[in-house]
Chains A and B, each alone.
Chain A
Amino acid sequence: VSRADLALLVPELILSGMALVLLLAARRIQRTPLAMGGTVLAALGAALAAATAESGTGVGGMITVDGYSRFFLVLVAAALALAAFLSARHPEGERGLRVEYHVLFLLTATGMMLAVSSLDLLTLYLGLELMTLCSTVLVGFTVERPAANEAALKYFLIASFASALLLFGISLTYGLTGATELAAIASALKSAEGNPLPLVALGLVLAGLAFKIAAVPFHAWAPDAYQGASAPVAAFLAAGSKAAGLAALGRVCLIAFPSEAGALGRILVVLAGLSIVVGSLLALSQTDMKRLLAYSSIAHVGYALLGLAAGTPGGAAATMTYAFFYVFMTLGAFGVVIALGAQGESLDGYRGLAAQRPGLAALMLLFLLSLTGIPPTAGFAAKFVVIVSAVRADHLLLAVLAVLCSVVSAFVYLRVVVFMYMREPTAPVPARVSMTVSTALALAALVTLFGGIVPGSLVPWAVSP
């Protein structure tokens, strides 16, 4: 490993280094804010290092820093920092394994970053696996809650199954092309026209990655896992792991399998359409907020896939924009759930919130409007670019479907708004929101508003691989 190789991995090294330091000091840190501060500091350092890193490829052609990875590295670091802020009220926060909780956050983010900057199927798999393993432990972190144990077990079993599919796809690809590097796979597949086996390999790899981003029909684990996990963990899973999965999916689709572009496009169109329809419809009947947001996240992955389904650099850029704004609005919505404590987890808890906590209700309104895709929020700008890219790729039916399901999802999100603004309060809400949760909410709200008012702000950075 040369110095140039290490320079490519600085963000990952910062996060894992901080994780090691926290782990060594775990029994000596008496105060939670110290562990949280360390995590946020590492996230800021990693974001800074990623943003200023020089482009290049190294570590045997497996790791790269380019515009694409820089974008997602910063996004993952931001999600980590916000999720750490949101963990102030974590049920385990005041006793027990408070430092280990943040260590697992750091390592999950390290895995995401590794997956995002991979140019090789093996490092990609390694990164995704690190992410999945650590988040499994995080999902089951509140050991004394049976729901958390069940969620962790379900998540573990289905994630293992997905990993097996992904590995099978990778091994088939290797058998066909003799390569695991994305670019080498592409050039080897170009000469293998007419062979049906690359299609099988592609299908398996796509299925494995679709599990990671919870796209229908590989979504069944998400609602249970999110509901069983504590809210900050669910928020980090919904935001970070989807962003990392989408980044990995985008790179694999665009670099490794351009020879299968036709089939790839059709598979992604089906995944996107199903995710949008099923996610929006199933969200209608949810009364648990974490489940509702889980189904909403499934629908949003469908919208994000609209860009990738186009198969063009412009489409990938649209997906990047969508992923970016989605992370902030989802973390914001989960943030309000966390701020309300146990009461925020059920829909009934939002009755009359506007009368008791007008500020919190207004923030929730902003995030819900953004999730629906109503201007002037970032959600509208994001939805606009992906639907435009679907229209440009002649997926007219899909574009119409996306708009229709947006209307359906408006009912889902506005139902919460009706509860907040037009119902009488039933229970008193928690008196104060912790400083760090407010900070995270403010940051998420800022990005959500800014992205809506200045819609083109991300264009210079959202460059496809």
Chain B
Amino acid sequence: VSAYGEYIGIAVTFVLAGGIALAMVILGSTLGKKNPTAVKLAPFECGKDPLSVPMGRLAIKFYLTAILFILFDVELVFLYPWAVVYRELGLTGLVEMGVFLGVLMAGFVYAWDNGALDWK
């Protein structure tokens, strides 16, 4: 038990939170007044008409832009830690990062070549 002692607080929180939430639901459904109307029973969706086509058509170019964004995002994720230890890595680190960026940029150039950046 001693090894897990520090987790007891978390367990108590879970039990308390779950207990209170459960109690509220049970109390509300047993003690509360019920007065159902057609409007009340309809699925609630922030005042919108719940019966409509779930999603309109979305142009595919948004996905393309999102993927291009991820390209730069991943690049940054690796650039930050590299920048922090730049001095320790020295020239080797610079060359390795150059190769990494080169490969990523090749993908970008390919996308550019194929008109991924033309917004039409």
Contacts of A396 in B (CB 8 A): none
B-facing residues in A35-74 (Cβ within 8 Å):
none
Contacts of A26 in B (CB 8 A): 110, 113-114
Size category of the binding interface on chain A = under 10
Known: A24-B106, A24-B110. 13 other contacts (CB 8 A): A1-B96, A20-B103, A20-B106, A23-B106, A23-B107, A23-B110, A24-B109, A24-B113, A26-B110, A26-B113, A26-B114, A27-B113, A27-B114
Among residues of A, the one whose C-beta sits closest to the C-beta of B106 is: A20
Query: What is the interface of chain A, defined by CB distance below 8 A to chain B?
Result: 1, 20, 23-24, 26-27
A-B pair count, CB < 8 Å, reads: 15
| Mask: chain B, 75-113; 1 = CB below 8 Å from A; 0 = not | 000000000000000000000100000010011011001
Among residues of A, the one whose C-beta sits closest to the C-beta of B103 is: A20
Per the bound structure, the CA–CA distance linking A23 and B114 in Å amounts to: 11
Contacts of A24 in B (CB 8 A): 106, 109-110, 113
Per the bound structure, the CA–CA distance linking A434 and B66 in Å amounts to: 42
Contacts of A23 in B (CB 8 A): 106-107, 110
Contacts of B107 in A (CB 8 A): 23
Among residues of B, the one whose C-beta sits closest to the C-beta of A1 is: B96
Contacts of A1 in B (CB 8 A): 96
Among residues of A, the one whose C-beta sits closest to the C-beta of B105 is: A24
Among residues of A, the one whose C-beta sits closest to the C-beta of B107 is: A23
Contacts of B113 in A (CB 8 A): 24, 26-27
Per the bound structure, the CA–CA distance linking A60 and B93 in Å amounts to: 17
Size category of the binding interface on chain B = under 10
Contacts of B110 in A (CB 8 A): 23-24, 26
Per the bound structure, the CA–CA distance linking A26 and B113 in Å amounts to: 8
Contacts of B103 in A (CB 8 A): 20
Across the A-B interface, give the 3 residue pairs with the lowest CB-CB distance, nearest first.
A27-B113, A23-B110, A20-B106
Per the bound structure, the CA–CA distance linking A24 and B106 in Å amounts to: 6
Among residues of B, the one whose C-beta sits closest to the C-beta of A2 is: B92
Shortest Cβ distance from residue A133 to the other chain B in the assembled complex, whole angstroms: 15
- 15 A-B pairs within 8 Å (CB atoms) are namely A1-B96, A20-B103, A20-B106, A23-B106, A23-B107, A23-B110, A24-B106, A24-B109, A24-B110, A24-B113, A26-B110, A26-B113, A26-B114, A27-B113, A27-B114
Per the bound structure, the CA–CA distance linking A24 and B109 in Å amounts to: 7
B107, B110, B114 — which one has the most chain A CB atoms within 10 A of its CB? B110
Shortest Cβ distance from residue A231 to the other chain B in the assembled complex, whole angstroms: 27
Among residues of B, the one whose C-beta sits closest to the C-beta of A21 is: B106
Per the bound structure, the CA–CA distance linking A413 and B106 in Å amounts to: 46
Contacts of A27 in B (CB 8 A): 113-114
Per the bound structure, the CA–CA distance linking A263 and B114 in Å amounts to: 53
Per the bound structure, the CA–CA distance linking A26 and B103 in Å amounts to: 15
Per the bound structure, the CA–CA distance linking A238 and B110 in Å amounts to: 30
Contacts of A20 in B (CB 8 A): 103, 106
Among residues of A, the one whose C-beta sits closest to the C-beta of B96 is: A1
Per the bound structure, the CA–CA distance linking A24 and B111 in Å amounts to: 10
Contacts of B106 in A (CB 8 A): 20, 23-24
Shortest Cβ distance from residue B11 to the other chain A in the assembled complex, whole angstroms: 24
Among residues of A, the one whose C-beta sits closest to the C-beta of B115 is: A27
Per the bound structure, the CA–CA distance linking A20 and B106 in Å amounts to: 7
Shortest Cβ distance from residue A357 to the other chain B in the assembled complex, whole angstroms: 40
Per the bound structure, the CA–CA distance linking A27 and B114 in Å amounts to: 7
Per the bound structure, the CA–CA distance linking A26 and B107 in Å amounts to: 11
Shortest Cβ distance from residue B70 to the other chain A in the assembled complex, whole angstroms: 16
